[in-house]
Amino acid sequence: MDHFRLADAACATRRMFVRDLLLDAQIGVYAHEHGRTQRVRVNLDLAVEDDGAANISRPAVGADDLGRVVDYDTVINAVRQIIAAGHVQLVETLAERVAEACLANPRVRVARVMVEKLDVIADAASVGVEIERRNS
């Protein structure tokens, strides 16, 4: 299955991303995973509406204004709050919650979220899931 092009001039989107956000999360279905934290890595790719491309009077390039973009600090803080909210059993659930938080911003058209547990399988760097969700 092909992925949506996150940065696409024809669709007036730009790609905003967060790479390798490492956090301690209370996650897992097994008894030995409860009552402790595990390292997780979160990667995000967002297709963000580029209002400058659709609006000739406000060019996309040159307007150095935080109000015209999706603030990565806000996105990262949302991920931190989701993880701090308490135990989650599945990486799939965590990924869905993160995607939902990203898509709460109406400028985000697509959220691609990867969540990995880093210390689960001794001979694997990570295990996890990647999802892609869209705003309608």
Indicate the domain borders of the chain. 13-134
What confidence tens digit (pLDDT) does each residue in 60-106 have? 555 677 777 899 999 999 999 999 999 999 999 999 999 999 999 99
What confidence tens digit (pLDDT) does each residue in 11-32 have? 788 899 999 999 999 999 999 9
Whole-prediction pTM: 0.88
Q: How far apart are CA 24 and CA 37, in angstroms?
A: 6
Q: Given a cut of 60, is residue 57 above it in pLDDT?
A: no
Write out the CATH class of domain 13-134. alpha beta
